[in-house]
Structure 1
Amino acid sequence: MPLPRPSLCVLGSGSGGNSAALRVEAGVVLIDAGFSPRATAARLAQAGSDLCEVKAVCVTHFDRDHFRPGWVAALVGLRARLFCHRWHLDELRRLRGANRLFAAGLVQTFSENEPFGVIPGVRAETTRLQHDRQGTTGYRFEARWAASLRHAAVHVGYATDLGHVPEALIALLAGVDLLCLESNYDAGMTTRSSRPSFVNRRNLSDSGHLSNEQAFAAVAAIRERSGGGNPRRVVLLHRSSQCNHPTKIRRVFAAEPALRGRVTLTDQRRRSAWLKVPAMRAVVRDQLRLASA
C-alpha cells in the first residue's frame, strides 16, 4: 500500500488564533498552537485527525495567538516536542509550568541556517524575521512520504507576523510546492479604521505585519526564484478582521493570471481542507536552489 502523501490543513488563522497541521505517516506537526488544546482537538477531529497524532509543535513566536499556555501541560501529556528559536527561550520560560517541558526534555531550540529533523519524514530550515521585539521564525519544511525515494518530498514554506520580506526569506522559500504567507491588512482600511493610532503605526511598520500588496510582491519574488511552476498553491494567513476583507485580497492577487485557482484564503473561525500538492522533482529543485544561491 502506498504511503499517504504529506498534506497540510490550516486549522485557523487570524488575530484570535493561528495553527496549521502538517501530516505525514509518522504523525502530525503543528505549526503554532494558537488555539487551546480542546479547540485544536475539535478542529483536528473535523479534519479526520486526532490530538494524539500530534508529535511536535514548531512555534513561530510566543504571542498568545500563536501559542496558548495550556499547551505546556498538553505537550507533556502527549510527549510531543516543542521547537522554537533560541531567541524565544526567555518567553517560553515565563510561561506557567514551562519547567515541566524542560524537565521532560521536550524543548528543542534552533538557530537560523541550522536544518533539523522534526519527526521522521519531516525536516525544517528556518530564518529569523523582524516582528516586535523578539522577532518571529519563518519555516521551510521538507515532508517525505517515502523515505527511500529521493523525489518523494513536498516542500512547504510558512511565514507570518512579519513587517517586511527580507531577501533571506525569499531565498529560503524559493522552490516550495506549497507557500503559506501572511496577507494581514489593506492599507486603506487600516488608515481609516477606528483602532488606536499606535496600533496602526505598529502594524504598518517594518516590524508589524504584511499588507496585501506586500504579500503579493513576496509571492511574485518567490515564484520568480522558483521555476517549474512553483509554488503550486499559495495559502494566505492571518487576515485582519477589522482591516482587511477577502475581496480586497482577491483583487490584489487577480493581477497575476498565473495564480488563478492557486490561492487559498484562510479563516479565523474555520479550518481549511487538507491541501495536497504535487512535488517538484528533487533534481529540478536542487538545480534551482543552487542557481538562487
Structure 2
Amino acid sequence: MPLFITSLNSGSNGNCYYVGNTHEAVLIDAGLSCRQTEKRMQRLGLPLQQVKAIFISHEHTDHISGAAQVARKHRLPIFITPRTLRQSRLEQSGLDLRPLRSNQPVSIGGITITAFPKLHDASDPHSFVIDYDSTKVGVFTDIGMACEQVIHHFSQCHAAFLEANYDEDMLENGRYPYYLKRRISGEKGHLSNQQALALFRTHKPTFMSHVLLAHLSKENNCPQLARDLFMPHRDGTEIIVASRSEETPVFTISAVPEIA
C-alpha cells in the first residue's frame, strides 16, 4: 500500500511536509500559516480533515510558526519532545500536546511515525521516518552531519526529504558574516549539497524511488545547481527540488513497484 507525500514549503521561510495514505496523514513541522497550509493542500486536492497529527522536529520558527493555529483550528494533536516544548512557546491553553520520545514509534491509524535524534543547533532536534505497510519515507532536514542514525534510517527509505541547504563555494564566498558561515557549515548546522550527495551515493538503497532536495538556502544555493549535482548519480531515483515558495506535486511512494 502506498504513501502519498508532498512538500508544502521548504526553506528558512517555512517548512511543512505531508505524508499520508488514503485514510490518514500527518504533517511533519508546521512552519506555514494556517491559511497557506489550507490553500496549498486544497490546490493539491488533499483534505486537511485527513491530517490527524502534527509532529515537530525542533523549536526554530520556520518549523513551528503555524503549529498552534493549525492545531487549534483543526483540533490536531501536536507531538513534540519535552525539551523542544519548553523552548517552543507552544504551551498554550487549548492545544493537545503529546510527548514525543526518541525511537518510540507513534501510531496514527495505520501509519507509524518514529522520531530519532539528529545533530542540529536546537534543544532536542529529531528527524522522522514514516512507515505504512512496509513503505518508508524519511524526513532528513536541519542536519549538521550524517550521523549513524541518519545513515541507518536513510538506507531503509523508499523516499526521502533530504536537506541540501547550501553550496560550499557560495557560502564561503557569500555575504554572510564569518560566525554564521561557521554555524551553518558546522556539525550542528546544515547539510551542504556535497554532504547530501555523499549520503545519497553511499547509502541510497536500490529501491529508493524519490528524493526531494529540501531546505535550500535562498542566499547560498541554487535549485538547478543542486539538482544538476545529483542527476548523474540518480540511478533510477527521481530527483525533485522542494520549493521555498510553493508546494510540490503529490508523489506516490510504494514498497511494491507498479506493474506496467
* TM-score past 0.5 threshold: yes
Q: Which residue of structure 2 lines up, in the alignment, with residue 169 of structure 1?
A: 150
Q: Is residue 276 from structure 1 mapped to residue 240 from structure 2 by the alignment? A: no
Q: Report whether the alignment pairs 1:253 with 2:253.
A: no
Change (3 A) 1:10 1:162: same
Answering whether residue 79 of structure 2 is matched by residue 83 of structure 1, we say: yes
* Closer/same/farther in 2, CA of residues 51 and 189 from structure 1, 3 Å limit: same
Shift of 1:30: 0.7
Contact 1:61 1:135 in 2 (8 A): yes
Match of 2:103 in 1: 113
Distance 1:162 1:135 in 2: 12
**Does the aligned pair in 2 maintain the 1:181–1:215 contact within 8 Å?**
yes
Residue of structure 2 equivalent to 1:199: 180
Q: 1:8 aligns with which of 5, 9, 13?
A: 5
- Bigger mean CA deviation after superposition, 210-219 or 49-58: 49-58
**In 1: Cα distance, 2:197 partner to 2:144 partner:** 14
- The Cα shift of 1:141 comes to 0.7
Contact 1:202-1:208 at 8 Å conserved across structures = yes
Task: State how many pairs are aligned.
Answer: 257
Runs of 4+ in 1 over 6 A off after TM superposition: none
Deviation at 1:170, TM superposition (A): 1.1
Aligned residue in 1 for 2:218: 241
Equivalent position amino acid for 1:115 in 2? P
Q: 2:39 aligns with which of 37, 42, 52?
A: 42
Counterpart position of 1:131? 120
1:88 corresponds to which letter in structure 2? T
Give the CA deviation at 1:17: 0.6
Contact 2:227/2:240 (<8 A) preserved: no
Q: Is the 8 A contact 2:165 2:217 kept in 1?
A: yes
Could you tell me the TM-score, scaled by structure 1's length? Answer: 0.82
Q: Secondary structure at the match of 1:98?
A: coil
- Amino acid corresponding to residue 42 of structure 1 in structure 2: K
Paired position in structure 1 for 2:94 = 100
Letter in 2 for 1:272: T
Aligned to 2:243: 267
Q: Tell me how far apart the structure 1 counterparts of residues 229 and 34 of structure 2 sit (CA, whole Å).
A: 35
When residues 257 and 233 of structure 1 are mapped into structure 2, their CA distance, relative to the original with a 3 A threshold, is closer
| Runs (5+) with no aligned partner, structure 2 | none
Separation in 1, partners of 2:227, 2:250: 21
* CA RMSD after TM alignment: 1.9
- The whole-number CA distance in structure 2 between the counterparts of 1:237 and 1:135 is 21
Cα deviation, residue 172, structure 1: 2.1
How far apart are 1:107 and its partner, in Å?
A: 1.7
Q: Is the 8 A contact 1:55 1:78 kept in 2?
A: no
Q: What SS class does the counterpart of residue 254 from structure 2 fall into?
A: coil
